[in-house]
Structure 1
Amino acid sequence: MAMTGMVVTTHVELPEQAIMRFAEQVRTGAIDEPTGQMRLGFDLGTANIVVAVVDAANHPIAGGWVHSTVVRDGVVVDWAGATSAVRALRADVEQRLGHEFTKASISIPPGISDGDIQVFANVIGAAGLDLDEVVDEPVAAARAMGITDGAVIDVGAGTTGVSILEDGKVVLSVDEATGGHHMTLVLAGSNNIDYDQAEAMKKDPQYREQVLGTIRPTLDKMATIAAQALGSRDVPAVYLVGGSSSFESAPAIFEARLHRLVVRPAQSLFITPLGIPMPAQEESR
Protein backbone atom coordinates (compact mmCIF):
# COMPACT_ATOMS: atom_id res chain seq x y z
CA MET A 1 0.00 0.00 0.00
CA ALA A 2 1.34 3.41 -0.94
CA MET A 3 0.41 6.60 0.83
CA THR A 4 1.83 9.83 -0.41
CA GLY A 5 1.47 13.56 -0.27
CA MET A 6 2.90 14.15 -3.74
CA VAL A 7 0.68 15.57 -6.47
CA VAL A 8 0.70 14.93 -10.19
CA THR A 9 1.25 17.87 -12.52
CA THR A 10 1.34 16.37 -16.02
CA HIS A 11 -1.90 16.55 -18.03
CA VAL A 12 -2.64 15.80 -21.65
CA GLU A 13 -5.30 18.52 -21.53
CA LEU A 14 -6.12 21.49 -19.35
CA PRO A 15 -7.28 20.40 -15.89
CA GLU A 16 -10.52 22.35 -16.32
CA GLN A 17 -11.32 20.42 -19.49
CA ALA A 18 -10.60 17.10 -17.82
CA ILE A 19 -12.83 17.96 -14.85
CA MET A 20 -15.70 18.99 -17.12
CA ARG A 21 -15.33 15.81 -19.15
CA PHE A 22 -15.29 13.65 -16.02
CA ALA A 23 -18.44 15.33 -14.70
CA GLU A 24 -20.15 14.49 -17.99
CA GLN A 25 -18.98 10.88 -17.78
CA VAL A 26 -20.33 10.46 -14.26
CA ARG A 27 -23.70 11.94 -15.14
CA THR A 28 -24.20 10.27 -18.53
CA GLY A 29 -22.17 7.04 -18.44
CA ALA A 30 -20.06 8.13 -21.42
CA ILE A 31 -16.59 6.62 -21.83
CA ASP A 32 -13.44 7.63 -23.69
CA GLU A 33 -10.80 5.51 -25.42
CA PRO A 34 -7.82 5.08 -23.09
CA THR A 35 -4.16 5.58 -23.90
CA GLY A 36 -2.00 3.17 -21.97
CA GLN A 37 -2.74 1.65 -18.59
CA MET A 38 -5.96 2.58 -16.82
CA ARG A 39 -6.17 3.30 -13.10
CA LEU A 40 -9.20 3.04 -10.82
CA GLY A 41 -10.16 5.18 -7.82
CA PHE A 42 -13.03 5.46 -5.34
CA ASP A 43 -14.29 8.39 -3.30
CA LEU A 44 -16.35 7.26 -0.28
CA GLY A 45 -18.26 10.41 0.55
CA THR A 46 -20.98 11.18 3.06
CA ALA A 47 -23.58 11.72 0.34
CA ASN A 48 -22.18 9.82 -2.66
CA ILE A 49 -19.66 7.16 -3.61
CA VAL A 50 -17.91 8.08 -6.86
CA VAL A 51 -15.72 5.88 -9.08
CA ALA A 52 -13.15 7.36 -11.47
CA VAL A 53 -11.01 5.84 -14.20
CA VAL A 54 -8.07 7.65 -15.81
CA ASP A 55 -5.53 6.47 -18.39
CA ALA A 56 -1.74 6.77 -18.50
CA ALA A 57 -2.02 10.42 -19.54
CA ASN A 58 -4.46 11.16 -16.66
CA HIS A 59 -7.29 11.68 -19.13
CA PRO A 60 -10.67 10.78 -17.58
CA ILE A 61 -11.97 7.59 -19.18
CA ALA A 62 -15.09 6.71 -17.19
CA GLY A 63 -16.96 7.53 -14.02
CA GLY A 64 -20.04 6.68 -12.05
CA TRP A 65 -21.73 7.32 -8.74
CA VAL A 66 -24.37 6.11 -6.31
CA HIS A 67 -26.08 7.93 -3.49
CA SER A 68 -24.78 6.59 -0.21
CA THR A 69 -24.75 7.22 3.53
CA VAL A 70 -21.97 4.76 4.39
CA VAL A 71 -19.68 7.50 5.72
CA ARG A 72 -20.54 9.96 8.48
CA ASP A 73 -18.18 12.70 9.67
CA GLY A 74 -15.21 11.02 8.00
CA VAL A 75 -15.86 7.55 9.43
CA VAL A 76 -17.19 4.46 7.63
CA VAL A 77 -20.40 3.61 9.52
CA ASP A 78 -21.85 1.05 7.10
CA TRP A 79 -19.19 -1.51 6.15
CA ALA A 80 -21.51 -3.79 4.18
CA GLY A 81 -23.03 -0.88 2.29
CA ALA A 82 -19.64 0.58 1.41
CA THR A 83 -18.30 -2.75 0.14
CA SER A 84 -21.46 -3.47 -1.85
CA ALA A 85 -21.41 -0.04 -3.50
CA VAL A 86 -17.74 -0.31 -4.47
CA ARG A 87 -18.32 -3.77 -5.95
CA ALA A 88 -21.30 -2.53 -7.97
CA LEU A 89 -19.47 0.54 -9.30
CA ARG A 90 -16.43 -1.56 -10.18
CA ALA A 91 -18.60 -4.06 -12.07
CA ASP A 92 -20.34 -1.24 -13.93
CA VAL A 93 -17.17 0.46 -15.22
CA GLU A 94 -15.58 -2.91 -16.04
CA GLN A 95 -18.61 -3.86 -18.12
CA ARG A 96 -18.64 -0.53 -19.96
CA LEU A 97 -14.90 -0.57 -20.60
CA GLY A 98 -14.50 -4.30 -21.27
CA HIS A 99 -11.59 -4.32 -18.84
CA GLU A 100 -11.03 -6.05 -15.49
CA PHE A 101 -9.32 -4.05 -12.76
CA THR A 102 -7.21 -5.75 -10.09
CA LYS A 103 -6.37 -2.74 -7.89
CA ALA A 104 -7.75 0.66 -6.93
CA SER A 105 -6.93 3.78 -4.94
CA ILE A 106 -9.15 5.31 -2.31
CA SER A 107 -9.38 8.74 -0.74
CA ILE A 108 -9.63 9.57 2.95
CA PRO A 109 -10.54 12.71 4.89
CA PRO A 110 -7.32 14.36 6.07
CA GLY A 111 -6.28 14.00 9.67
CA ILE A 112 -8.24 10.84 10.53
CA SER A 113 -6.76 8.12 12.74
CA ASP A 114 -4.68 5.22 11.46
CA GLY A 115 -7.50 2.88 12.45
CA ASP A 116 -10.05 4.77 10.38
CA ILE A 117 -7.61 4.91 7.44
CA GLN A 118 -7.34 1.14 7.60
CA VAL A 119 -11.12 0.77 7.49
CA PHE A 120 -11.25 2.80 4.25
CA ALA A 121 -8.42 0.70 2.83
CA ASN A 122 -10.12 -2.54 3.85
CA VAL A 123 -13.21 -1.61 1.82
CA ILE A 124 -11.10 -1.94 -1.32
CA GLY A 125 -9.83 -5.36 -0.27
CA ALA A 126 -13.30 -6.58 0.66
CA ALA A 127 -14.48 -5.58 -2.82
CA GLY A 128 -11.90 -7.95 -4.34
CA LEU A 129 -9.27 -5.37 -5.27
CA ASP A 130 -5.67 -4.79 -4.22
CA LEU A 131 -5.00 -1.39 -2.71
CA ASP A 132 -3.03 0.90 -5.02
CA GLU A 133 -2.83 4.06 -2.92
CA VAL A 134 -4.50 5.92 -0.06
CA VAL A 135 -4.66 9.66 -0.69
CA ASP A 136 -6.02 12.61 1.31
CA GLU A 137 -9.10 14.13 -0.32
CA PRO A 138 -7.61 17.65 -0.72
CA VAL A 139 -4.45 16.11 -2.20
CA ALA A 140 -6.59 14.27 -4.75
CA ALA A 141 -8.25 17.58 -5.62
CA ALA A 142 -4.82 19.19 -6.04
CA ARG A 143 -3.78 16.43 -8.44
CA ALA A 144 -6.87 16.93 -10.57
CA MET A 145 -6.22 20.68 -10.74
CA GLY A 146 -2.48 20.34 -11.34
CA ILE A 147 -1.59 22.27 -8.18
CA THR A 148 1.76 21.95 -6.42
CA ASP A 149 1.63 25.00 -4.14
CA GLY A 150 -1.25 26.51 -2.22
CA ALA A 151 -4.13 25.48 0.02
CA VAL A 152 -7.01 23.21 -0.95
CA ILE A 153 -10.21 23.40 1.07
CA ASP A 154 -12.45 20.39 0.40
CA VAL A 155 -15.97 21.00 1.69
CA GLY A 156 -17.77 17.68 1.58
CA ALA A 157 -21.09 16.46 2.85
CA GLY A 158 -19.68 15.48 6.23
CA THR A 159 -16.42 17.32 6.80
CA THR A 160 -14.28 20.31 5.85
CA GLY A 161 -10.72 19.31 5.00
CA VAL A 162 -7.78 21.65 4.50
CA SER A 163 -4.40 20.72 3.03
CA ILE A 164 -1.45 23.03 2.43
CA LEU A 165 1.02 22.04 -0.28
CA GLU A 166 4.55 23.24 -0.89
CA ASP A 167 6.54 21.99 -3.89
CA GLY A 168 4.03 19.18 -4.36
CA LYS A 169 4.23 17.94 -0.77
CA VAL A 170 1.61 18.22 1.95
CA VAL A 171 2.94 20.20 4.91
CA LEU A 172 -0.35 20.46 6.83
CA SER A 173 -3.60 18.50 6.64
CA VAL A 174 -6.63 18.87 8.92
CA ASP A 175 -10.28 17.82 8.83
CA GLU A 176 -13.28 18.77 10.95
CA ALA A 177 -16.85 17.51 11.03
CA THR A 178 -18.77 20.33 9.39
CA GLY A 179 -20.20 19.92 5.89
CA GLY A 180 -23.31 19.71 3.76
CA HIS A 181 -24.92 17.23 6.17
CA HIS A 182 -24.80 19.88 8.87
CA MET A 183 -26.33 22.45 6.51
CA THR A 184 -29.25 20.10 5.98
CA LEU A 185 -29.69 19.60 9.72
CA VAL A 186 -29.81 23.37 10.22
CA LEU A 187 -32.39 23.73 7.44
CA ALA A 188 -34.52 20.94 8.89
CA GLY A 189 -34.53 22.49 12.34
CA SER A 190 -35.12 26.03 11.11
CA ASN A 191 -38.08 25.04 8.93
CA ASN A 192 -39.47 22.25 11.15
CA ILE A 193 -39.22 19.69 8.35
CA ASP A 194 -37.60 16.25 8.15
CA TYR A 195 -34.08 15.63 6.89
CA ASP A 196 -35.04 14.44 3.39
CA GLN A 197 -37.29 17.46 2.85
CA ALA A 198 -34.49 19.75 3.99
CA GLU A 199 -32.01 18.06 1.64
CA ALA A 200 -34.41 18.57 -1.30
CA MET A 201 -34.94 22.17 -0.28
CA LYS A 202 -31.18 22.77 -0.16
CA LYS A 203 -30.85 21.62 -3.78
CA ASP A 204 -33.94 23.41 -5.15
CA PRO A 205 -33.02 26.66 -6.98
CA GLN A 206 -36.32 28.31 -6.07
CA TYR A 207 -35.34 28.26 -2.39
CA ARG A 208 -31.75 29.34 -2.95
CA GLU A 209 -31.97 32.75 -1.24
CA GLN A 210 -33.89 31.37 1.74
CA VAL A 211 -31.44 28.49 2.08
CA LEU A 212 -28.41 30.78 1.92
CA GLY A 213 -29.83 32.97 4.66
CA THR A 214 -30.26 29.96 6.92
CA ILE A 215 -27.01 28.11 6.26
CA ARG A 216 -24.68 31.12 6.11
CA PRO A 217 -23.50 30.57 9.71
CA THR A 218 -22.58 26.98 8.78
CA LEU A 219 -20.58 28.20 5.77
CA ASP A 220 -18.92 30.75 8.04
CA LYS A 221 -17.97 27.96 10.46
CA MET A 222 -16.36 26.08 7.56
CA ALA A 223 -14.45 29.23 6.63
CA THR A 224 -13.34 29.57 10.26
CA ILE A 225 -12.01 25.99 10.20
CA ALA A 226 -9.98 26.92 7.11
CA ALA A 227 -8.75 30.17 8.66
CA GLN A 228 -7.54 28.37 11.78
CA ALA A 229 -5.76 25.77 9.65
CA LEU A 230 -4.03 28.37 7.49
CA GLY A 231 -3.12 30.65 10.37
CA SER A 232 -0.51 33.16 9.27
CA ARG A 233 0.90 30.98 6.48
CA ASP A 234 1.53 32.89 3.27
CA VAL A 235 0.06 30.57 0.63
CA PRO A 236 0.12 31.60 -3.04
CA ALA A 237 -3.47 30.55 -3.72
CA VAL A 238 -6.52 29.05 -2.00
CA TYR A 239 -8.80 26.65 -3.86
CA LEU A 240 -12.30 25.73 -2.73
CA VAL A 241 -13.69 22.37 -3.88
CA GLY A 242 -16.36 19.85 -2.88
CA GLY A 243 -20.09 19.66 -3.50
CA SER A 244 -21.01 21.70 -0.44
CA SER A 245 -18.97 24.64 -1.73
CA SER A 246 -21.27 25.07 -4.73
CA PHE A 247 -23.38 27.85 -3.24
CA GLU A 248 -22.83 31.11 -5.11
CA SER A 249 -21.79 33.06 -2.03
CA ALA A 250 -19.39 30.43 -0.67
CA PRO A 251 -16.15 31.92 -2.10
CA ALA A 252 -17.01 35.38 -0.73
CA ILE A 253 -17.73 33.97 2.73
CA PHE A 254 -14.39 32.16 2.76
CA GLU A 255 -12.58 35.24 1.44
CA ALA A 256 -14.03 37.35 4.26
CA ARG A 257 -12.62 34.95 6.86
CA LEU A 258 -9.31 34.18 5.15
CA HIS A 259 -8.56 37.69 3.87
CA ARG A 260 -7.31 36.02 0.68
CA LEU A 261 -8.62 35.46 -2.83
CA VAL A 262 -10.43 32.11 -3.00
CA VAL A 263 -10.76 30.27 -6.31
CA ARG A 264 -13.61 27.81 -6.80
CA PRO A 265 -13.27 25.85 -10.06
CA ALA A 266 -16.32 24.71 -12.03
CA GLN A 267 -17.80 21.27 -11.26
CA SER A 268 -16.29 21.36 -7.77
CA LEU A 269 -18.15 18.19 -6.77
CA PHE A 270 -16.11 16.06 -9.18
CA ILE A 271 -12.61 17.45 -8.68
CA THR A 272 -11.57 15.25 -5.75
CA PRO A 273 -12.87 11.96 -7.23
CA LEU A 274 -11.04 12.59 -10.51
CA GLY A 275 -7.70 13.05 -8.74
CA ILE A 276 -7.88 9.83 -6.72
CA PRO A 277 -6.62 7.41 -9.43
CA MET A 278 -3.99 9.87 -10.67
CA PRO A 279 -0.52 8.67 -9.61
CA ALA A 280 1.88 10.63 -7.46
CA GLN A 281 4.36 12.83 -9.30
CA GLU A 282 7.32 10.51 -9.05
CA GLU A 283 5.27 7.66 -10.60
CA SER A 284 4.08 9.76 -13.54
CA ARG A 285 7.50 10.75 -14.89
Structure 2
Amino acid sequence: MSEKKLSYEYCEQLVSDFENVVKHPIVGKSSVYYTGVDLGTACVVLAVLDENYKPVAGAYRYSDVVRDGMVVDYIGAIKIVREMKQQIEEKLGTELIYAAAAIPPGTDALDGGAVKNVVQAAGFELTNLLDEPTAANKVLKIKDGAVVDIGGGTTGISILKDGKVVHVVDEPTGGTHFSLVVSGAYNMPFNEAELYKRNPENHKELLPVLKPVIEKIASIINYNIKGYDVEQISLVGGTCCLTDIEKIIDKQTGIFTHKPKNPMFVTPLGIALSCTQEAME
Protein backbone atom coordinates (compact mmCIF):
# COMPACT_ATOMS: atom_id res chain seq x y z
CA MET A 1 0.00 0.00 0.00
CA SER A 2 1.38 3.41 -0.94
CA GLU A 3 2.38 6.00 1.64
CA LYS A 4 -0.03 8.43 -0.03
CA LYS A 5 -2.97 6.15 0.60
CA LEU A 6 -1.88 5.48 4.19
CA SER A 7 -1.76 9.18 4.99
CA TYR A 8 -5.22 9.71 3.51
CA GLU A 9 -6.57 6.80 5.53
CA TYR A 10 -5.33 8.47 8.73
CA CYS A 11 -7.05 11.70 7.70
CA GLU A 12 -10.33 10.01 6.79
CA GLN A 13 -10.40 8.02 10.03
CA LEU A 14 -9.65 11.04 12.22
CA VAL A 15 -12.34 13.15 10.52
CA SER A 16 -14.84 10.28 10.78
CA ASP A 17 -14.08 9.84 14.48
CA PHE A 18 -14.50 13.58 15.04
CA GLU A 19 -17.87 13.63 13.26
CA ASN A 20 -19.01 10.88 15.62
CA VAL A 21 -17.90 12.64 18.83
CA VAL A 22 -19.54 15.93 17.75
CA LYS A 23 -22.82 14.01 18.04
CA HIS A 24 -21.78 11.64 20.84
CA PRO A 25 -18.94 12.99 23.05
CA ILE A 26 -16.70 10.45 24.75
CA VAL A 27 -16.77 11.08 28.50
CA GLY A 28 -13.70 9.56 30.13
CA LYS A 29 -10.87 10.25 32.51
CA SER A 30 -8.27 11.83 30.30
CA SER A 31 -5.59 13.64 32.32
CA VAL A 32 -5.65 16.56 29.87
CA TYR A 33 -7.68 17.82 26.92
CA TYR A 34 -6.34 19.64 23.86
CA THR A 35 -8.61 22.03 21.96
CA GLY A 36 -8.25 23.38 18.45
CA VAL A 37 -10.07 26.67 17.82
CA ASP A 38 -10.71 27.42 14.15
CA LEU A 39 -12.13 30.93 13.64
CA GLY A 40 -13.36 30.58 10.08
CA THR A 41 -15.03 33.22 7.94
CA ALA A 42 -18.25 31.21 7.72
CA CYS A 43 -17.92 28.79 10.62
CA VAL A 44 -16.25 28.56 14.04
CA VAL A 45 -15.13 25.02 14.95
CA LEU A 46 -13.83 23.65 18.26
CA ALA A 47 -12.14 20.22 18.16
CA VAL A 48 -11.26 18.52 21.44
CA LEU A 49 -8.74 15.67 21.76
CA ASP A 50 -7.79 13.57 24.80
CA GLU A 51 -4.33 12.91 26.29
CA ASN A 52 -3.60 10.52 23.40
CA TYR A 53 -4.69 13.12 20.83
CA LYS A 54 -7.85 11.17 19.97
CA PRO A 55 -11.13 13.03 19.27
CA VAL A 56 -13.52 13.12 22.23
CA ALA A 57 -15.80 16.11 21.55
CA GLY A 58 -16.40 19.01 19.23
CA ALA A 59 -18.81 21.67 18.10
CA TYR A 60 -19.27 24.10 15.22
CA ARG A 61 -21.38 27.17 14.62
CA TYR A 62 -21.94 29.21 11.48
CA SER A 63 -21.21 32.89 12.10
CA ASP A 64 -20.01 36.13 10.53
CA VAL A 65 -17.55 37.31 13.19
CA VAL A 66 -14.66 36.83 10.75
CA ARG A 67 -14.39 38.34 7.28
CA ASP A 68 -11.72 37.43 4.72
CA GLY A 69 -9.75 35.69 7.46
CA MET A 70 -9.81 38.70 9.79
CA VAL A 71 -11.76 39.07 13.05
CA VAL A 72 -14.29 41.86 12.47
CA ASP A 73 -16.57 41.25 15.47
CA TYR A 74 -14.18 40.82 18.38
CA ILE A 75 -16.83 40.68 21.13
CA GLY A 76 -19.04 38.36 19.07
CA ALA A 77 -16.12 36.01 18.41
CA ILE A 78 -15.28 35.79 22.13
CA LYS A 79 -18.94 35.11 22.95
CA ILE A 80 -19.24 32.28 20.42
CA VAL A 81 -15.99 30.57 21.45
CA ARG A 82 -16.83 30.93 25.15
CA GLU A 83 -20.34 29.50 24.67
CA MET A 84 -19.05 26.54 22.64
CA LYS A 85 -16.32 25.93 25.22
CA GLN A 86 -18.89 25.86 28.03
CA GLN A 87 -21.23 23.56 26.10
CA ILE A 88 -18.45 21.02 25.54
CA GLU A 89 -17.27 21.32 29.17
CA GLU A 90 -20.78 20.50 30.38
CA LYS A 91 -20.88 17.42 28.15
CA LEU A 92 -17.43 16.21 29.23
CA GLY A 93 -17.83 17.21 32.88
CA THR A 94 -14.45 18.92 32.95
CA GLU A 95 -12.76 22.24 32.21
CA LEU A 96 -11.01 22.81 28.91
CA ILE A 97 -7.78 24.67 29.65
CA TYR A 98 -5.38 24.40 26.72
CA ALA A 99 -6.08 25.51 23.16
CA ALA A 100 -4.27 26.21 19.92
CA ALA A 101 -5.50 28.42 17.09
CA ALA A 102 -4.62 29.23 13.49
CA ILE A 103 -4.65 32.14 11.07
CA PRO A 104 -4.44 32.45 7.28
CA PRO A 105 -0.81 32.27 6.10
CA GLY A 106 1.07 35.56 6.07
CA THR A 107 -1.47 37.40 8.24
CA ASP A 108 0.24 37.04 11.64
CA ALA A 109 1.29 40.69 11.74
CA LEU A 110 -2.25 41.81 10.83
CA ASP A 111 -4.51 39.49 12.78
CA GLY A 112 -2.47 37.07 14.89
CA GLY A 113 -2.98 39.26 17.96
CA ALA A 114 -6.75 39.42 17.52
CA VAL A 115 -7.12 35.63 17.24
CA LYS A 116 -4.82 35.14 20.23
CA ASN A 117 -6.86 37.59 22.30
CA VAL A 118 -10.20 35.99 21.31
CA VAL A 119 -9.04 32.53 22.42
CA GLN A 120 -7.60 33.84 25.68
CA ALA A 121 -10.61 36.04 26.44
CA ALA A 122 -12.86 32.99 25.94
CA GLY A 123 -11.06 31.33 28.87
CA PHE A 124 -8.33 29.24 27.25
CA GLU A 125 -4.59 29.19 27.75
CA LEU A 126 -3.25 29.58 24.21
CA THR A 127 -0.37 27.17 23.56
CA ASN A 128 0.18 27.52 19.82
CA LEU A 129 -0.70 29.80 16.90
CA LEU A 130 0.09 28.51 13.42
CA ASP A 131 -1.04 29.06 9.84
CA GLU A 132 -4.10 27.14 8.66
CA PRO A 133 -2.66 25.02 5.82
CA THR A 134 0.25 23.96 8.04
CA ALA A 135 -2.27 22.94 10.72
CA ALA A 136 -4.23 20.97 8.13
CA ASN A 137 -1.11 19.04 7.18
CA LYS A 138 -0.87 17.70 10.74
CA VAL A 139 -3.85 15.59 9.64
CA LEU A 140 -3.03 15.12 5.96
CA LYS A 141 0.65 14.23 6.62
CA ILE A 142 1.78 15.27 3.15
CA LYS A 143 5.56 15.22 2.64
CA ASP A 144 5.59 16.62 -0.87
CA GLY A 145 2.70 18.56 -2.35
CA ALA A 146 0.36 21.46 -1.70
CA VAL A 147 -2.30 21.96 0.96
CA VAL A 148 -4.98 24.34 -0.30
CA ASP A 149 -7.30 25.73 2.39
CA ILE A 150 -10.31 27.35 0.70
CA GLY A 151 -12.08 29.33 3.38
CA GLY A 152 -14.90 31.82 3.29
CA GLY A 153 -12.88 34.82 2.19
CA THR A 154 -9.48 33.59 1.10
CA THR A 155 -7.55 30.64 -0.28
CA GLY A 156 -4.42 29.68 1.66
CA ILE A 157 -1.74 27.59 -0.02
CA SER A 158 1.15 25.79 1.67
CA ILE A 159 3.74 24.00 -0.44
CA LEU A 160 5.67 21.21 1.26
CA LYS A 161 8.96 19.55 0.43
CA ASP A 162 10.20 16.66 2.59
CA GLY A 163 7.50 17.48 5.11
CA LYS A 164 8.59 21.10 5.53
CA VAL A 165 6.72 24.19 4.39
CA VAL A 166 8.74 26.00 1.73
CA HIS A 167 6.14 28.52 0.54
CA VAL A 168 2.89 29.93 1.95
CA VAL A 169 0.47 32.43 0.47
CA ASP A 170 -3.07 33.65 1.14
CA GLU A 171 -5.12 35.02 -1.75
CA PRO A 172 -8.57 36.67 -1.79
CA THR A 173 -11.25 34.36 -3.29
CA GLY A 174 -13.26 31.81 -1.38
CA GLY A 175 -16.72 30.78 -0.28
CA THR A 176 -17.98 34.35 0.05
CA HIS A 177 -17.39 34.77 -3.68
CA PHE A 178 -19.35 31.55 -4.31
CA SER A 179 -22.28 32.98 -2.34
CA LEU A 180 -22.12 36.28 -4.23
CA VAL A 181 -22.32 34.41 -7.55
CA VAL A 182 -25.26 32.30 -6.31
CA SER A 183 -26.97 35.45 -5.01
CA GLY A 184 -26.64 37.13 -8.41
CA ALA A 185 -27.55 34.07 -10.48
CA TYR A 186 -30.66 33.23 -8.46
CA ASN A 187 -31.62 36.79 -7.48
CA MET A 188 -31.69 35.96 -3.79
CA PRO A 189 -30.30 37.78 -0.72
CA PHE A 190 -26.71 36.93 0.22
CA ASN A 191 -27.68 35.10 3.44
CA GLU A 192 -30.16 32.93 1.54
CA ALA A 193 -27.52 32.21 -1.10
CA GLU A 194 -25.11 31.15 1.65
CA LEU A 195 -27.63 28.62 3.00
CA TYR A 196 -28.56 27.43 -0.51
CA LYS A 197 -24.88 26.83 -1.29
CA ARG A 198 -24.35 24.76 1.87
CA ASN A 199 -27.12 22.30 1.04
CA PRO A 200 -25.54 19.25 -0.68
CA GLU A 201 -28.80 18.64 -2.55
CA ASN A 202 -28.14 21.82 -4.56
CA HIS A 203 -24.51 21.11 -5.40
CA LYS A 204 -25.03 19.33 -8.73
CA GLU A 205 -27.14 22.23 -9.96
CA LEU A 206 -24.71 24.84 -8.61
CA LEU A 207 -21.46 23.37 -9.93
CA PRO A 208 -21.80 24.81 -13.49
CA VAL A 209 -22.81 28.19 -12.00
CA LEU A 210 -19.77 28.24 -9.71
CA LYS A 211 -17.31 26.74 -12.20
CA PRO A 212 -15.79 30.13 -13.22
CA VAL A 213 -14.95 30.94 -9.56
CA ILE A 214 -13.51 27.45 -9.02
CA GLU A 215 -11.41 27.91 -12.16
CA LYS A 216 -10.17 31.22 -10.75
CA ILE A 217 -9.07 29.41 -7.58
CA ALA A 218 -7.36 26.81 -9.76
CA SER A 219 -5.50 29.60 -11.58
CA ILE A 220 -4.40 31.02 -8.19
CA ILE A 221 -3.09 27.56 -7.29
CA ASN A 222 -1.31 27.21 -10.65
CA TYR A 223 0.35 30.61 -10.28
CA ASN A 224 1.61 29.94 -6.75
CA ILE A 225 2.89 26.41 -7.27
CA LYS A 226 4.83 27.32 -10.41
CA GLY A 227 8.41 26.12 -10.10
CA TYR A 228 7.78 23.92 -7.07
CA ASP A 229 7.17 20.57 -8.84
CA VAL A 230 3.95 19.82 -6.93
CA GLU A 231 2.71 16.26 -7.48
CA GLN A 232 -0.46 16.31 -5.37
CA ILE A 233 -2.94 18.84 -4.02
CA SER A 234 -5.10 18.35 -0.93
CA LEU A 235 -8.17 20.55 -0.51
CA VAL A 236 -9.42 21.56 2.94
CA GLY A 237 -11.75 24.23 4.31
CA GLY A 238 -15.53 24.52 4.42
CA THR A 239 -15.83 25.82 0.85
CA CYS A 240 -14.40 22.51 -0.39
CA CYS A 241 -17.55 20.76 0.85
CA LEU A 242 -19.00 21.65 -2.58
CA THR A 243 -19.45 18.32 -4.34
CA ASP A 244 -16.94 17.68 -7.16
CA ILE A 245 -14.95 20.91 -6.64
CA GLU A 246 -11.85 18.70 -6.57
CA LYS A 247 -12.57 17.38 -10.09
CA ILE A 248 -12.53 20.88 -11.59
CA ILE A 249 -9.31 21.82 -9.78
CA ASP A 250 -7.71 18.51 -10.80
CA LYS A 251 -8.58 19.17 -14.44
CA GLN A 252 -7.46 22.81 -14.41
CA THR A 253 -4.15 22.16 -12.67
CA GLY A 254 -3.40 18.78 -14.21
CA ILE A 255 -2.32 17.63 -10.75
CA PHE A 256 -3.84 14.80 -8.68
CA THR A 257 -6.26 16.54 -6.30
CA HIS A 258 -7.54 14.89 -3.14
CA LYS A 259 -10.43 16.04 -0.96
CA PRO A 260 -11.04 14.49 2.49
CA LYS A 261 -14.42 13.17 3.50
CA ASN A 262 -15.31 16.37 5.35
CA PRO A 263 -12.78 19.09 4.49
CA MET A 264 -14.31 21.52 7.00
CA PHE A 265 -12.93 19.55 9.95
CA VAL A 266 -9.36 18.90 8.78
CA THR A 267 -7.88 22.24 9.85
CA PRO A 268 -9.48 22.39 13.34
CA LEU A 269 -8.27 18.83 14.01
CA GLY A 270 -4.78 19.81 12.88
CA ILE A 271 -4.92 22.81 15.19
CA ALA A 272 -5.89 20.55 18.10
CA LEU A 273 -3.03 18.17 17.25
CA SER A 274 -0.70 21.18 17.58
CA CYS A 275 -1.94 22.01 21.08
CA THR A 276 0.36 21.42 24.08
CA GLN A 277 0.34 22.16 27.81
CA GLU A 278 2.76 25.08 27.57
CA ALA A 279 1.17 28.51 27.27
CA MET A 280 2.51 30.92 24.66
CA GLU A 281 4.40 33.95 25.89
- Same fold per superposition (TM over 0.5): yes
Q: Give yes or no for the alignment of 1:183 onto 2:162.
A: no
- Displacement of 1:163 in angstroms is 0.5
Larger mean Cα displacement after TM superposition, 221-230 or 162-171 = 162-171
- From 123, 134, 139, give the equivalent of 1:144: 139
Task: Tell me the residue number matched to 2:50.
Answer: 55
**Alpha-carbon distance change, 223 to 128 in structure 1, aligned in 2, over 3 angstroms:** same
Q: Given the alignment, which residue of 26, 30, 39 partners 2:34? A: 39
Indicate whether 1:20 and 2:16 are aligned.
yes
Q: Quote the residue 1:8 is aligned against.
A: none
**Any idea what the Cα deviations from partners look like across 1:143-170, whole Å, max 9, x if unmatched?**
1223333210111122111111223322
C-alpha separation between the residues in 2 aligned to 1:170 and 1:55?
27
Partner of 2:80: 85
Summarize the Cα distance change of 1:144–1:210 in structure 2 as closer, same or farther, 3 Å threshold: same
**Alignment partners' CA distance in 1, 2:28 and 2:167:** 37
Paired residue for 1:261?
Answer: 256
Partner of 1:158 in structure 2?
153
CA distance in 2 between partners of 1:57 and 1:235 (Å): 33
Shift of 1:113: 4.4
Please say which of residues 239-248 and 270-279 is displaced more in the overlay: 239-248
Indicate the residue corresponding to 2:272 in structure 1: 277
Equivalent residue runs for 1:68-217 within 5 Å: 68-217=63-212
State the partner residue of 2:4.
none
Q: What CA distance in whole angstroms lies between the structure 2 residues aligned with 1:23 and 1:255?
A: 27
| Alignment pair present for 1:250 and 2:245 | yes
Contact 2:159/2:168 (CA < 8 Å) preserved in 1?
Answer: yes
Alpha-carbon distance between aligned partners in 2 of 1:88 and 1:232, rounded to the nearest angstrom: 45
RMSD of aligned alpha carbons: 2.2
Could you report, residue by residue, the CA deviation over 1:34-68 in whole angstroms, capped at 9, with x for unpaired residues? 65532111000111111011123321111011121
Q: 1:29 to 1:181 in 2, by over 3 A?
A: farther
Which residue pairs with 2:219 in the alignment? 224
Contact 2:145 2:160 in 1 (8 A): yes
Deviations 1:115-152 (A, max 9, x none): 31111111112112221100111111111223333210
Map Cα deviations across residues 213-240 of structure 1 (whole Å, 9 max, x no partner): 2111111111111111111211342111
Between the aligned partners of 2:191 and 2:237, the Cα distance in structure 1 is 20
CA distance in 2, matches of 1:228, 1:59: 37
Task: Tell me the distance in 1 between the aligned counterparts of 2:104 and 2:238.
Answer: 14
Q: Does the 8 A contact of 1:74 with 1:177 survive in 2?
A: no
In structure 2, the CA distance between the partners of 1:199 and 1:158, relative to structure 1 (3 Å rule), is: same
Distance across 1 between alignment mates of 2:219 and 2:49? 34
The alpha-carbon distance between structure 1 residues 208 and 40, as it changes in their structure 2 partners (threshold 3 A), is closer
Aligned residues: 270
Structure 1 residues 34 and 244: alpha-carbon distance in aligned structure 2, compared to 1, 3 A threshold: farther
Structure 2 counterpart SS, 1:196: helix
Q: What is the alpha-carbon distance in structure 1 between the residues aligned to residue 192 and residue 89 of structure 2? A: 35
What one-letter code is carried by the residue in structure 2 that aligns with 1:20? Answer: S
Unaligned runs of 5+ in 2: 1-6
